[in-house]
Amino acid sequence: MKLGAFSISLSVKDLEKSKDFYEKLGFSQMAGSMEHDYLIMKNGDHLIGLFQAMFDGNMLTFNPGWDQNAQNLESFDDVRDIQKRLKENGVQLDKEADQTTSGPEHIFLKDPDGNMILIDQHR
């Protein structure tokens, strides 16, 4: 299964303070904006999403169709195909993709310890 780009999505209390902190660790802003309450920070191949007041808790995030630079991949597994395989393997989903659509869509699931996983396809 090709899950695409990987990042950790952090729910932060103060976006400016979090941005400053991660810049001190060598991250720089790759996408997002303060006005939209989220930033995507990058250090080499490592991505961290900082989200203020958008969701509770932290989550692992995968983006089918993108590489670590948010560039389109030539071939990728559509989130609906990933969903089908997960369900065939007995994985319970907290939010399913609409199988009658194409293009952008997402699913949510939790690992055995309750850690949230987002598979978020943007194209």
Instruction: Give the global pTM.
Output: 0.89
Residue closest to 48 by CA, chosen among 64, 27, 20: 27
Three state DSSP letters for 16-46: HHHHHHHHHCCCEEEEEECCCCEEEEEECCE
CA distances from 56 to 24, 36, 37, 53, 116 (A): 25, 17, 14, 8, 10
- CA 78-8-12 angle, to 5 degrees, is 130
Tell me the two tokens of residue 77. Answer: 């597994």
Alpha-carbon Rg of the chain, whole angstroms? 15
Average pLDDT, the chain: 96
pLDDT in tens, 45-99: 999 999 999 999 999 999 999 999 999 999 999 999 999 999 999 999 999 999 9
Segment 18-31 mean pLDDT: 98
